[in-house]
Structure 1
Amino acid sequence: MNAILNAVAAIGRWAISSLQSAGALAIFAVEGLVNIVLPPFYPRLFGRAMLSMGFLSLPVVALTAIFAGMVIALQSYTGFARFAAQSQTATIVALSVTRELGPVLAALMMAGRAGAAMAAELGTMRVTDQIDALQTLSTKPMKYLVAPRLLAGIVAMPLLVVVADILGILGGFIVCTVKLGFNGPAYIHDSFAALAPGDVTLGLAKGIVFGFVIALSGCFHGYRSRGGAEGVGSATTSAVVMASVLVLALDYVMTEVFFTR
């Protein structure tokens, strides 16, 4: 009996802790959004965040996208060959990249790179009392540290999605024309013919949501970091894990809403 009660108590503590964390994250997100739209603004900090999250994430996003496009082309061709439908490879590559692979892979790469960096930076500032020093100087940390990063995530992520879409389709084109013997102009025509405006705009909409989620997760865990170097490391890990899980979950939700109605 005691074992059952202890198990129930443990589940209850976990549920309460999860609800508290979810509530704190929601409050943090709302406060961050409010600080994005209200003055004062810090364009220099926004530019630095854009450089870190956008430009410096380009190499890893580009490599991931182009190899993903190559793999999808090979796998699609192999599968369609069983039904003598190899001509549909261009369609599958274009739709897979623009709807799913471009936004999701770009987001996961940004979460692992920029999200971790934000959590580590803000966590270090927290444990070394730099955030408290900002408050002492009458500077709002949410406005100065968090809002520029959230805005940069919202702006940078769709741009990375565009790059991932282009390079993913390019990767499929290279494999299909060089290795599988497709006609280049015909492949390009089939790729564009397969795409509807909604396919591209949904990918960009996912990019906006994913960028906000990644920046929010990195800032949230870094801002609340405690316990010295160990706490910073824990916050960095938690930021990447939360961002990755939320990206995949929100990807399903948005796909369900826009493509199954």
Structure 2
Amino acid sequence: MNRGCAWWTDWLCGLGRMALLAREAFGSLLRGRAHARDVLVQIHFMGVKSQSVVLVTGAFTGMVLAAQTFFQFHKVKMDTATLAVVSVSMCSELGPVLTGLMVAGRVGAAIAAELGTMRVTEQIDALRTLATHPVDYLVVPRLLAAHIALPLLTAEAITVGIGAGYLVGVGLLGIDAAYAWHNMLRYTGVIDVTIGLIKAVIYGGIVALVGCYKGLNCGLGAEGVGRATTEAVVVASISILVANFFLTLGLTPLLTALGL
């Protein structure tokens, strides 16, 4: 009983500390304390250097989705609707979710390891002695960069996924190109793209915030840094999957009501 209470208490305390870190970071961001150079460095690290894994993931996801959809639709003579399913799925669900998971595995772990190492080697304490707030210098640039980089990476993954699905469907499976393209444009709306990009912005904040929190609060020693890195990836990935469910339920009727 005591162990269960301790587990829940630790979890709630950690959630509260993360909420306080988010409030402090967004407050600092609104006050304009982020340096442009630091933000550009983080955008390059999170965006440019993550392109290869995101593009490969998007391409093969689009190809597999096109093949599996074709095999099922071919049974009911709906071959030309294959690309429409690929497009809607990549725009609103698979594109942002898979991009978020890939970036969480690469960037979230790197952020936690970097900040954790700085904490262990007392570099964060040194920043405080130099009158530099760690949140302003370390958290805010990463948070802002993630909000910018994730939607761009998601847009690339969506584009490449649809293109790869088109090549497989038309070039390999023999779907009529004109009808496939027409059905894709007919059934893919602005709301699908909007939902995907909004999700990407939120997932970027989750990855950066979880990585920074785990790094700033890691245990001492190499074991603490390793544990913080693992926890950052696991917590960010689970948070993205949980948030995706609630965002799907909330965004679709909201944007529909707004007329998108």
Under TM normalisation by the shorter chain, which class is it?
over 0.9
Q: Which runs of 5+ in 1 are unaligned?
A: 1-7
Corresponding letter in the other structure for 1:28 = L
Match of 1:86 among 60, 75, 79: 79
Match of 2:178 among 176, 181, 185: 185
Secondary structure at the aligned position of 2:76 is classed as: coil
Match of 1:160 among 150, 153, 158: 153
CA distance in 1, matches of 2:251, 2:218: 37
Map 1:18-167 → 2, pairs under 5 A: 18-167=11-160
Deviations 1:137-157 (A, max 9, x none): 000000000000000011111
CA distance in 2, matches of 1:184, 1:101: 23
Task: Report which stretch shifted further, 29-38 or 184-193.
Answer: 184-193
What corresponds to 1:5 in structure 2? none
Deviations 1:200-232 (A, max 9, x none): 001000000000000001111011112111111
TM-score w.r.t. the length of structure 1 is 0.94
1:241 aligns with 2:220: no
Task: Report which stretch shifted further, 156-165 or 222-231.
Answer: 222-231
Per-residue deviation, 1:258: 2.5
Corresponding letter in the other structure for 1:186 = Y
Corresponding letter in the other structure for 1:225 = C
1:212 aligns with 2:205: yes
CA distance in 2, matches of 1:53, 1:148: 11
CA distance in 1, matches of 2:88, 2:243: 19
Deviations 1:16-72 (A, max 9, x none): 111111111111111111111114331111011100111111110000000000000
CA distance in 2, matches of 1:132, 1:58: 34
1:228 aligns with 2:221: yes
1:197 aligns with 2:185: no
Q: Is the 8 A contact 2:79 2:175 kept in 1?
A: no
User: Between the two proteins, what is the percent identity of the paired residues?
Assistant: 41
Per-residue deviation, 1:260: 5.8
CA distance in 2, matches of 1:163, 1:212: 19
Secondary structure at the aligned position of 1:138 is classed as: coil
Instruction: Give the alignment's Cα RMSD to 1 decimal.
Output: 1.2
Deviations 1:86-107 (A, max 9, x none): 2211111011100111000110
Q: Which runs of 5+ in 2 are unaligned?
A: 255-260
CA distance in 2, matches of 1:185, 1:123: 53
Corresponding letter in the other structure for 1:251 = N
Count of aligned positions:
254
Return structure 1 stretches of 4+ with deviation > 4 angstroms.
Answer: none
Secondary structure at the aligned position of 1:82 is classed as: helix
Corresponding letter in the other structure for 1:99 = S
Per-residue deviation, 1:171: 1.2
Corresponding letter in the other structure for 2:62 = G
CA distance in 2, matches of 1:39, 1:259: 33
TM-score w.r.t. the length of structure 2 is 0.95
Deviations 1:222-258 (A, max 9, x none): 1111211111111110000011001011111010113
CA distance in 1, matches of 2:60, 2:46: 21
CA distance in 2, matches of 1:56, 1:161: 14
Corresponding letter in the other structure for 1:198 = I
